[in-house]
Chain A
Amino acid sequence: MSVLDELVAGASEDARRREQSVPLHTLQRMADTAAAAIDCSGWLRQDDGIPVIAEIKRASPSKGMLGDIPDPAKLAMEYESGGARVISVLTEERRFKGSLEDFDRVRSAVHIPLLRKDFITTDYQVWESRAHGADMVLLIVAALDDNSLHHLLELTQRLGMTALVETHTREEIDRALEAGAMVIGINARNLKDLKVDVGVYRDLADHLPNGIVKVAESGVFGNVELERYARAGADAVLVGEGVATAEDHSLAVNNLVAAGARVKASQSKPLSEHQGPYFGRFGGRYVPEALIGALDELTDVYGEAKNDSAFQNELTTLGRQYVGRPSPLTEAPRFAERLNTQTGLNSRVFLKREDLNHTGAHKINNALGQALLVKRMGKHRVIAETGAGQHGVATATVCAKFGFQCRIYMGQIDARRQALNVARMRMLGAEVVEVTEGTRILKDAINEALRDWVTNVEDTHYMLGTAAGPHPFPTMVRDFQKVIGEETRRQLSEEFSIDHPDAICACVGGGSNAIGIMNTFLDDERVNLYGFEAGGHGPVSGEHAIRLTPGTGEIGLFQGTKSYLLQNEEGQTLDTYSVSAGLDYASVGPEHAWLKEIGRVHYGYATDDEAMEAFRDLCETEGIIPALESAHAVAGAYKAAADLKSRGYVSPNIIINISGRGDKDVVTAGKWFGYLTPEQIGALDAGATDHATMPEGTNHS
C-alpha cells in the first residue's frame, strides 16, 4: 500500500468514525448557520504582494514531530500578525497529528480565511469543513478519480468555499483544469535532494491559463524560495515547516510577506516608472546601518520634492538659466555618411549635446538636483567622489553656487592624471582629498566618501554622481537625468518631425547618462536601446570595464547595491581599465542590470581602439570633440547600425548621447594619434601642474 493510499484510507476511516457521532445532516445544519465562506480566489492574487498561506503543522510522515504546538490559536494569531493571508490547518490525525479541534481553536481566534488540509475524498469531509468554518479545502488530484474530483470540486464551490487543488504533473494539471479548478497548487520538489526545482515549477505553471491562481506548495522555508517562485510566476505560496518551526513565527511570516512585496514591486509596469529600491532582483541598500537614517531621510525628502511643483520649477529654471538647457539636438549628416558607407544603411544620426551644458557634461543635471535637496534637508556639507573629475567639478560648481562646504575624494592615481581638474575643483572652493588607500582610483574614492559619510552623516550629504549605489540614488539620479531623453523626444518631433528614434546609443559607466536618455523610451518598443561599456583592451585581456557581457561581470553587492560586478573567484573586486576614466568602474547601476536581464536594452562594448577611432570620426566629420566616454557611444553607433541592418532596418534614425565634451581628453588623443611630440607631451605634463594653463574642459567621473 502506498503512502498516499494509507493516508487516504486512514483519513476515510477516521471520517466514518466521526460520522457515526455527527451524521451528515447535522453537519449540513451546522454549515447553514456557519459564517459565510470568504471567496479566496481573488484573495490569493495580489498586485502588490505574494499572499502567504501559513500552515499549522505538528508533524509530517517523514520528519516526525516538528513541534508540539500546544496552542494552535496563538500560533495562528502570530501568523496573522506577521501578515499571513490564509492559515492552513492540518487536520489529519495519524501522521500529521492534527485534528478538527485544532481547526476550531484557530477558527475562533482569527478572521482571515482558513484552509482545511486533510485527505478529502468524500462529501462528508467537505460538508464537515464548511460546518467548522473553513473557507478553503485541499483536494489532491492524485487521490481522486476524475468523477470524484469533479464532484467534490463542485460541492466545495457550491458551499461557497475555494478548493486548493494539488497537482504534481502536467497530466494532473490537465485533470484539475478539466474538473474546473480555479486555484491550483503545484508541487515542484525534486525528490532526490528534496530541493525545490523552480524550473519544474515554471514549466508546470507556464502550462496554466492566466485566470488560474497558482500556488507554490513545496519547500518554501524562507524568502530565498519565495522569491524564486514569485519570479517564476507563482501568485501565492504555502509555507509549513518554514514558519511553524521558526524561532519567531510572526517575523518569519513577515519576512516572507516583505520578500513577496519586494518581488512584486520590482516587476511593476511600465518600465519607465520603477521607483526602486529594487529593479528586478537588483538594487537595494547594502550599506552599514549607520547610513540607513540618512538614506531614509533622503528618500523621504526626495519623495516630497518630486511632487512639489516649486521644487520642480526651481530645478527647471536653474536648468534653463544656469546650465543652458535644453541642450541642442544636432543632426550629424557627415558622420552619418561615414556610418552609412561602412554599414550600407541609409540612416540619419542625431547627437544629443550634453557636452554643451555648463561644466561640459550631463553631470551637472544631477548635481543641481541634489543641491536643491541638500538645501531642503538643511545640511551644509557636501562630499562626493570623482574618477577623473567630471562629477567632482559639477559638485564643486553647485557647492560654490549654493554656498555649501565641499570635499571631493579622488584616488591618488586619478588626481595625478587629472591635476588640472584638481586645480579646477580647488578654484571652485572645494577641498580635494587624494585617496591613498586601496587601488587609488574611483572605487577607492567612493569607499573613502562612504567612510566620511558614516562618520559625519548628521550634517553631510553624499552627492553620489551616478545612477548606482544604495537606494534612493539609482532612482533619484535617473530622475534628475531623464530630462535628457524627454528633451530628445520633443526636439526630434518638433525640429525634425520625426515621431520616434529607431535607436539610441549611450555609453555606460555607472550608467546615469544612459538611463537619462533611455528612461523616456523604455516603454516604446519601437525604440531600440543600446548601451556601450568600456572594452579597454578587450574582454579576454582582463583589462576592461565590461560588466554586462557574458563571461565578464557576475551578480554581486558593491558599494551599496546589488548589480553586476567584476570580481574574482573569491568575491574580491577586480581592477578595471579603460582609456576613459569615467567608464572605469567595477560595477554598474542596478537598473541597467535589470534592463539587461529582461532584455530591454542591448549592452555591448567598445574597446579603446574603437572608441579612439570614433572620437576622431566625430571630430573630423562634425567639428565636435566628444568626451572619451561619449566616444564609446559613437563607436557603439557603428555596432548598433549593423544590428539594425541585420534586423531589416533600411533608413533608421539613430540618436547618440554625447554625454560630455572632449577638451579634457585632447592630451590623451594627441598622444594616441601622434599629434604631439615627446617634447610637447613633456611640456604639457609639466604644464598640467601649472594652474595657469587650464582649459575649459572637464572630466567624467
Chain B
Amino acid sequence: MKNPQDTAHIAFVHEQDADASVGPNNNGGDTYGIQNPSIPEQPLGFSKRPSISAGRIDRCLSSGRPAFIGYLPFGFPTCADSVKACETLVRHGADFVEIGLPYTDPVMDGPVIQTACRIALQKGEHIADVFRAVQAVADAGGVPLIMGYWNLVFHYGVDRFASDLANAGGAGMVTPDLVPDEAGDWYEASQRYGLDRIFLVSPDSSEQRLKCVARNHRGFVYATSRMGVTGERDTLDSAPEHLVKRMHAAGAKRVCVGIGVSNAAQAQQVGSFADGVIVGSALVHTLLDDSGSNALPTGEGLDALAGKTEELADAVAHSRI
C-alpha cells in the first residue's frame, strides 16, 4: 500500500477539503437529517427548494380561482418607480409579478411594452438593480418572476443571475427566446438554486414540442393565447383554451395564459380554464399617457395601475363562479 501525501486529491473523496463556504442552496442535511456536521457542505449541489410558483398556483386553485400574474418592465419609468409599481400590483391583488428586463431588441413584444422598455433604457436601467424589484415583490407577499431575453442573462452570467435571483427571493424566470433545447445552462443553474423554468408554448406548437416543454419546465407553462407578440386585443378566440387542454394532456400540471389578455372580461374568460391569467400590456398601458409614448407622472400612473389591477384581480377571482 502506498501512503499518498495528499489524499484529498482524489475525486472519490474530493469534497473532503472543502471550505465551509455555503451557498444559498443548502440541501441534503436538513432534508435528510443524517449529515455529519463536521463536514462542510459543498456549494455546488442541487437545491431541494420546492417550486414557489407551483406552490402559489396550487394555493390559488384550492381557494377556487386561478392565479393572477401581472407583468411590468423593470426601470419604467424609473428604477424607483418601477419598484413601487411592482409593489402596487401585489397590494392590489396580483399573486405574481413578472418583472421584465428591458432589452434593445425585444422580438416577442408589441408596441406598448417596447415603448416602456425604451423609456427604461433611456433612463439608464441597470440589470443588476432588478433584484431590488424582486425583493420588493417578495417582501410585499407576491411571487417574483423575471422575464428576460436570454442575451441579458447570458451576458450577466447564467449561474450568477440565478444565484442573485434566488437570493433576492425570486421564484424563477420566463424565457421568451430560450427554448428547452438551448437551455442547458439554465436547466443546470435553475436546479442548483431551486428556480422555476417557465417556457412558452403557442397555439401551433406540435404535440412533440408540448411534451418537450412539459418535461423541461418547472413551476408552470406560459401558453400564449395567439400567435404573435405581446399587446392588447379586443377579442380572444378558442385557441388558448384548446392549448391549455393540450398542454395539460402533454404532462404540465399548471398552465397559465398570457399575451392579448387585456380586460376584465377576457381575464375572466381565460381564468375559467387556465391555472393562471397573465396580463402585461394592459397594465403597462395604465402607466403611459394618452400619446402612448411618455410615462404618466408617478402618482397618477400608480393610481391608474392600482385601479386596473383590482379590476383584473376581481375578474380572475370570479372566473370560476
Contact = CB atoms under 8 A, between A and B. Distances in A.
B182 A284 contact: yes
A142 interface: yes
Interface stretch (A13-21, A186-194, A535-543): A186-194
Contacts of B201: 289
B16 interface: yes
A217 interface: yes
Given A194-B43, A222-B185, A289-B199, A64 B213 contact: no
Interface stretch (B1-9, B263-271, B275-283, B312-320): B1-9
B84 interface: no
B240 to A, nearest CB: 14
B150 A286 contact: yes
A290 B15 contact: no
Contacts of B44: 194-195, 219, 221
Given A138-B12, A194-B18, A221-B192, 6 more contacts: A3-B7, A5-B3, A143-B4, A456-B227, A557-B154, A571-B127
13 contacts: A3-B13, A62-B14, A62-B16, A64-B28, A64-B35, A68-B32, A140-B10, A185-B11, A223-B187, A223-B188, A224-B188, A258-B184, A286-B178
A218 B13 CA distance: 10
Q: Which 7 A-B pairs have the closest CB atoms?
A: A222-B188, A62-B15, A571-B155, A64-B35, A4-B7, A187-B11, A223-B184
A166 interface: yes
Interface string A165-179: 010110000000000
Nearest to A556: B151
B63 interface: no
A191 B11 CA distance: 10
Nearest to A558: B151
A250 to B, nearest CB: 9
B13 A4 contact: yes
Contacts of B153: 571
A119 B9 CA distance: 15
B296 interface: no
A367 interface: no
B228 interface: yes
A247 B197 CA distance: 13
Interface of B: 1-4, 7-19, 21, 27-29, 32, 34-36, 39-46, 103-108, 110-111, 114, 118, 121, 126-127, 150-156, 158-159, 176-179, 181-182, 184-185, 187-188, 191-192, 199-202, 204-206, 209, 213, 215-216, 218, 224, 227-229
A571 B151 contact: yes
B200 A259 contact: no
Contacts of A191: 8-9, 14, 17-18
A318 interface: no
Given A63-B42, A185-B11, A451 B179 contact: no
Contact of A557 (B27, B41, B104, B150): B150
A572 B4 CA distance: 52
Interface of A: 2-5, 7-8, 59-68, 117, 119, 121, 138, 140, 142-145, 148, 166, 168-169, 185, 187, 189, 191-195, 217-219, 221-224, 227, 238, 241-242, 245-248, 251-252, 255, 258-259, 284-290, 292-293, 437-439, 443-444, 447, 450-451, 454-458, 554, 556-559, 565, 567, 570-573
A194 B204 contact: no
Contacts of B155: 554, 556, 567, 570-571
A457 B227 contact: yes
A104 B280 CA distance: 55
Contact of A450 (B1, B107, B213): B107
Contact of B45 (A138, A168, A241, A247): A241
A397 to B, nearest CB: 27
A61 B39 contact: yes
B35 to A, nearest CB: 3
A379 to B, nearest CB: 14
Contact of A255 (B126, B150, B184): B184
A142 B200 contact: no
A376 to B, nearest CB: 20
Contacts of A292: 179, 181, 205, 209
Given A61-B13, A217-B11, A289-B201, A142 B216 contact: no
Given A288-B108, A454-B108, A556-B154, A192 B11 contact: no
Contacts of B179: 285, 287-289, 292
Contact of B10 (A59, A166, A438): A166
Contact of B105 (A2, A61, A438): A438
Contact of B126 (A2, A458, A570): A570
B214 to A, nearest CB: 11
A456 to B, nearest CB: 7
Contacts of A554: 155
B177 A288 contact: yes
Given A454-B229, A457-B227, A143 B1 contact: yes
A89 to B, nearest CB: 14
B8 to A, nearest CB: 6
A297 to B, nearest CB: 10
A487 to B, nearest CB: 36
B308 to A, nearest CB: 25
Given A2-B7, A145-B2, A570-B152, A187 B34 contact: no
Nearest to A571: B155
A223 B185 contact: yes
A438 B102 CA distance: 12
B298 to A, nearest CB: 24
Nearest to B51: A247
Nearest to A243: B46
A444 to B, nearest CB: 8
A5 B7 contact: yes
A441 to B, nearest CB: 12
Given A62-B39, A64-B28, A456-B227, A288 B176 contact: yes
Q: Which among B15, B32, B127 has the highest number of chain A CB atoms within 10 Å?
A: B15
B179 to A, nearest CB: 5
A447 B105 contact: yes
Given A64-B35, A222-B191, A251 B215 contact: yes
Q: Which among B32, B40, B41 has the highest number of chain A CB atoms within 10 Å?
A: B32
A64 B127 CA distance: 37
B188 A571 contact: no
A144 B2 contact: yes
A66 B11 contact: no
A222 B4 contact: no
Contacts of B19: 192-194
A255 to B, nearest CB: 6
Given A187-B9, A259-B184, A455 B229 contact: yes
Contact of A287 (B14, B42, B177): B177
A587 B155 CA distance: 15
Given A5-B7, A64-B36, A289-B202, A454 B228 contact: yes
A515 B215 CA distance: 38
A401 to B, nearest CB: 29
Contacts of A288: 107-108, 176-177, 179, 200, 202
Given A62-B40, A293-B209, A447 B107 contact: yes
A641 B19 CA distance: 56
A61 B34 CA distance: 12
Contacts of B151: 286, 556-558, 565, 567, 571
B263 to A, nearest CB: 21
Contacts of B40: 62
A557 B106 CA distance: 12
A571 B16 contact: no
Contacts of B228: 290, 451, 454-455
Contacts of B185: 222-224
Contacts of A258: 184
Contacts of A456: 227
A290 B104 contact: no
B183 to A, nearest CB: 9
B106 to A, nearest CB: 8
